[in-house]
């Protein structure tokens, strides 16, 4: 028990440092969007931006979210990846994460993808290309556009509100087992969501 407790101060410092970095990037992303350096594109306008506006969709969600629902032919580079480290700090974080978040949402413990920008540069070497950056709720993509802008990408769009605010007709070519707006849900919350959807269908039929 003492050994575990000794890890807590270090764990707290790591979490605070990581959170500060993410908040800083998110703040810069918000400013880029506010000034128009990054174009905010609502889900209802995304299809037009992709079809006629010259944008390519960059999905930065973790693989387990994308596997549930994804836009056909979209690019994929995750901003956060599963934390597979087996050290004592990670094991402690995983136990806390599962108890407070994982059981309800089904989300795995993630860590920042340190090679995010490099992987995007491999997939999209032309930094003049138009990229519409998207995630589930719009927060992670706000961090991503900040990093991409700092990395030299200037023709960026941000999917305002993320896929969670999209409707069925916003992205006509969707692959996967569910709708884009429900792909973030998992675990017990996903089961609860499916029950609610089933009740809605039964209510319409009755």
What are the pLDDT digits (tens) for 157-179?
999 999 999 998 899 899 999 99
Least confident of 28-42, 73-87, 93-107, 143-157: 93-107
pLDDT category of residue 74 using cuts at 50, 70 and 90: very high
CA 192 to chain centre: 22
pTM: predicted TM-score of the whole model, two decimal places: 0.71
Diameter over CA atoms, the chain: 61
Residues annotated as catalytic are 135
Tell how strand 80-82 and strand 110-112 pair up.
Answer: antiparallel
How does DSSP assign 110-129, residue by residue?
EEE-TTHHHHHHHH---TTS
Would residue 9 count as lying in a domain? no
Secondary structure (3-state) at 94: helix
Domain containing residue 174: CATH number: 3.40.250.10
Would you say residue 191 has pLDDT above 70? no
Would residue 8 count as lying in a domain? no
Least confident of 92-96, 151-155, 170-174, 176-180: 92-96
Would residue 130 count as lying in a domain? yes
Would residue 3 count as lying in a domain? no
Would residue 11 count as lying in a domain? no
Domain that holds residue 51: 19-205
Would residue 6 count as lying in a domain? no
The helices-and-strands tally (H runs, E runs) of the chain is 8, 9
What tens digit of pLDDT does each residue of 20-48 get? Answer: 555 567 789 999 999 999 999 999 999 99
Q: What is the count of structural domains for the chain?
A: 1
Would residue 14 count as lying in a domain? no
125 φ/ψ sector (left φ>0, alpha ψ -120 to 50, else beta): alpha
Would residue 71 count as lying in a domain? yes
pLDDT category of residue 200 using cuts at 50, 70 and 90: low
User: Hey, which residues does 112 pair with through a beta bridge?
Assistant: 80
């Amino acid at each position: 028990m003492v050994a575990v407790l000794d890890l807590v101060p270090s764990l707290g410092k790591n979490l605070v440092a990581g959170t500060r970095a993410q908040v800083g990037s998110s703040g810069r992303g918000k400013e880029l969007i506010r000034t128009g350096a990054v174009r905010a594109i609502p889900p209802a306008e995304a299809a037009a931006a992709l079809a006629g506006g010259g944008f390519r969709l960059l999905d930065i969600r973790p693989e387990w979210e994308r596997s549930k629902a994804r836009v056909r032919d979209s690019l994929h580079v995750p901003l956060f990846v599963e934390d597979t480290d087996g050290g004592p700090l990670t094991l402690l974080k995983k136990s806390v994460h599962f108890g407070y978040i994982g059981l309800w949402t089904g989300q795995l413990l993630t860590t920042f993808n340190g090679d995010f920008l490099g992987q995007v540069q491999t997939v999209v070497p032309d930094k003049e290309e138009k990229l519409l950056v998207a995630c589930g709720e719009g927060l992670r993509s706000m961090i991503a556009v900040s990093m991409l802008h700092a990395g030299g990408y200037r023709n960026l769009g941000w999917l305002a509100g993320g896929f969670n605010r999209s409707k069925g007709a916003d992205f006509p070519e969707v692959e996967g087992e569910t709708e884009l707006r429900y792909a973030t849900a998992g675990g017990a919350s996903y089961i609860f969501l499916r029950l609610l959807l089933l009740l809605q269908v039964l209510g319409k039929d009755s």
